[in-house]
Amino acid sequence: MPKISKTELIKLQKSLKTDEAIGKKFEITRQAVHQLRKKYGIPSNLAKNDERNAKILSLYKKGASGTDIAAKMDLSISQTYRVINTAEKKKPAKKKKK
């Protein structure tokens, strides 16, 4: 397995984003990259998704289109709408008045 330093792994994570992309660069599995991240104590980029998703939903509620949000957040349009639709499904149901 190639030696990847903590500093190098942090830089790669910023540029390549995913464990899978980093693994392909070094011809190792994404699981091996994941284990290196855990060993060095580097959090996954996925940890930022909740914050990103909240921002997407906020922009959508303010009237921004899915296309505009996708461009601003550097996501595909389908991923943007997937985030919006998932958040909408998680809303608690309104209670019916009797």
Read off the pLDDT of residues 34-47 as tens digits, 9 standing for 90 and up. 999 999 999 887 77
Mean pLDDT (whole number) for 71-88: 90
CA angle 64/69/75 to nearest 5° reads 165
- Residue 92 carries which side chain, given as an amino acid letter? P
What average pLDDT is seen over the chain?
Answer: 87
Mean pLDDT (whole number) for 19-35: 92
Q: Does the pLDDT at position 19 exceed 80?
A: yes
Read off the pLDDT of residues 59-68 as tens digits, 9 standing for 90 and up. 999 999 999 9
The pLDDT score that the predictor gives to residue 49 is 85
Q: Does the pLDDT at position 93 exceed 60?
A: no
Query: Which phi and psi angles does 18 have, rounded to 5°?
Result: -110, 155
